[in-house]
Amino acid sequence: MTYYALGLIGHPVKHSLSPAIHNAALTAYGIAGEYRLFDVPEPPNNEPRMTALIDSLRAGIITGLNVTIPHKQVVLSYLDKLTLAAQSIGAVNTIYQIGDRLVGDNTDAPGFLKPLESYTHRLKDDKAALIIGAGGAARAVTYALNQQGWKLTISARRLPQAQELADSLAKLQLVQESETDPGQYSDDRHAIRVVALDNIQRVMEWTRVDLVVNTTPIGMTPHEDANPWPDGCNLPHGAIIYDLVYNPPETALLHAAKAAGLECIGGLDMLIEQAALAFECWTGLDAPREAMRKAASEQLH
């Protein structure tokens, strides 16, 4: 019988819900295995520990790994192949082995999109989203929405970081289109706006906003009262509010959105879906999503 030795590389990782989620999935199938946490120091002190874990994966001692901050980009140099999503986003959150090759994937992008499906059918074709933040989570979110044809505005405190993200995604989209239809190539077809956080009000004057996504940790336990949305600025009428923070399940942003009568999506939905997709990469089995969600919810309460 195959023993599934799975785990999460990151720092810090002690508060992660991933062991509860994945061990519940293994138990649901009666599979022998365990999901563990591997705390790997931040660069430049990470190399010995990272090398040892990757070597264990190549040797078959470890079956598969998840990767979280601050190592989603660090692991790129240790791998043999990247999926299109991982290559395009520039970050890996799931590693598995095919033959003698280690493959880096990114399930954050499809994991983010899945919970949106039941909401977006009513939206117009020219869907517009406002992304708060420009870090690693924002890269996956903006990539996912850009691939779906959304008009994007990135709002962040660090404008150079936001501009770099916008430029890289616009170039990626243009390159893909120029390869499939050279006649459609244009430098401004997929321009992505970048604005400072305190200028969010201006965004709603420029364009309709159908979706707001918080990709920052603002509002996460133990700072539940913090809200990434600027004071004195109304949430866009009719928008879907999506907060990637999952602890607490209802953040200050989602509480305000519900009070305004807006549709809301919490971070737990994305957490479960990206974990389910990783589980399927490692095992080839359909992930038991309800069992995984139940285990995560129990950890949060």
Q: For residues 179 and 106, what is the distance between their CA atoms, to the nearest angstrom?
A: 23
Q: Which residue has the higher pLDDT, 203 or 274?
A: 274
**Model confidence at 179, in pLDDT bands (50, 70, 90)?**
low
**Model confidence at 173, in pLDDT bands (50, 70, 90)?**
low
Contact 26, 4 (CB under 8 A): yes
Q: Per-residue DSSP letters for 121-136?
A: TTS-SS-EEEEE--SH
Q: Which residues form the catalytic set?
A: 72
* Tokens linked to 159: 């404008």
182: exposed, middle or buried (Cβ count in 10 Å: 0-12, 13-18, 19+): exposed
All structural domains of the chain, each given as residue ranges with its CATH number in brackets, are 4-106+274-300 (3.40.50.10860), 110-265 (3.40.50.720)
Query: Cis omega before residue 12 (within 30°)?
Result: yes
Burial 76-113 (b: 16+ CB within 10 A, else e): bebbeebbebbbbbbbbbbbbbeeeebbbbbbbbbbbb
- Work out the average pLDDT over 164-178: 74
Helices 289-300 and 18-29 sit at what angle, rounded to 10 degrees? 140
- Angle at the Cα of 252 (from 248 to 253), degrees rounded to 5? 110
Residues near 294 by beta carbon (within 8 Å), at least 6 away in sequence:
24
Say which range, 62-66, 121-125, 220-224, has the weakest mean pLDDT. 121-125
Nearest to 54 by CA among 85, 35, 37, 75: 75
Q: What is the pLDDT of residue 184?
A: 40
Contact 267, 297 (CB under 8 A): no
Q: What is the pLDDT of residue 257?
A: 98
Q: What is the pLDDT of residue 226?
A: 97
**Model confidence at 175, in pLDDT bands (50, 70, 90)?**
low
- Work out the average pLDDT over 204-232: 93
For residue 149, the tally of other CB atoms under 10 A from its CB is 11
What pTM was computed for the model? 0.91
Considering Cα of 91, then 97, then 99, then 105, what sign does the dihedral take?
negative
297: exposed, middle or buried (Cβ count in 10 Å: 0-12, 13-18, 19+): middle
* Tokens linked to 260: 């305004």
- Work out the average pLDDT over 279-299: 97
* Tokens linked to 175: 């390159």
